[in-house]
Amino acid sequence: MKKVGFIGLGNMGLPMANNILNAGIGVNAFDLSRDAMKKADELGMVTKSSALDVVENIDALITMLPNDTAVESIYLKEDLLEKISKNTIIIESSTINPEVSKKVSKKATEMNISILDAPVSGGVKGAELGTLTFIVGGNEADLEKATPLFKIMGDKTFYAGKAGSGQIAKLCNNMLLAIHMCGTAETIAMGVNNGLDPAILSEIMKSSSGGNWSLEKYNPFPGVMKEAPASNNYSGGFLNSLMLKDLNLAEELATQSKSNTPMGKLARELYKELNNQGFEELDFSSIQQNYLDK
């Protein structure tokens, strides 16, 4: 593989594209943000003036976009699929509505273009370190084409099933992530309010039956884990606006499948409140602030 196209250079996309570049593969890059394009150019990527220009002479296309509208615009409203080579593998890594993913996959497949929905888990740090987990839906035979890129950007790849399955699994994961982040923040605050040191309490719970990813990798209490967003004024990371978007999608999925998700609904309400308070651009671990004395 000599060249990859990458559309979407946000907090996740830019480090993912940079890992590909550092592996010796050329990158055609595009984003609507001028700042993102400037950073891509400084890193040595070939920045393009439009999404359509990105697909010229590439072996694979990766998209990491913020929402359904952006994905539909790129794949269903523009002429990108008409312009891309039939030999190119598409890896669509945005977290979106599974129905949109299926629609895009159907159109690409009808045009004999290989496509995988492959949302990721692991956060910004995972994107930077190349330790993401890819959750893949689509034709299992196409996995072989994409595996070299998955190995550059991540350390785990799971095949979830047919087109759209990657998105369904990702929404299940993110709903649980929101639930245990809310619970972790709530519990640490209760301990602190009763005189415990948050770092000591966190260590106790990490090694006990309450252990979870938020405690181990992403502690929401300021100062406990210096590399976590909580210790950097909750900047960077996975934004509250994106977590609310995923929880809204999870609720749609639950409604469609008649699934009972009371904890998912509560997490959604808590993140909706956080966004309404004006904290859309803070990391999702900032839910901790709702449990601390103001």
By three-state DSSP, how is residue 159 classified?
strand
Angle between helices 165-193 and 98-110 (to 10 degrees): 150
Active site residues: 170
Instruction: Please give the helix or strand (H or E) that residue 174 lies within, else none.
Output: helix 165-193
Torsion 209-212-214-219 (CA) sign: positive
Cα distance between residue 149 and residue 172, in whole Å: 24
Q: What is the DSSP letter of 4?
A: E
Closest Cα partner for 102 from 18, 161, 53, 51?
161
7 strand-pairing partners? 30, 63
Q: What is the DSSP letter of 239?
A: B
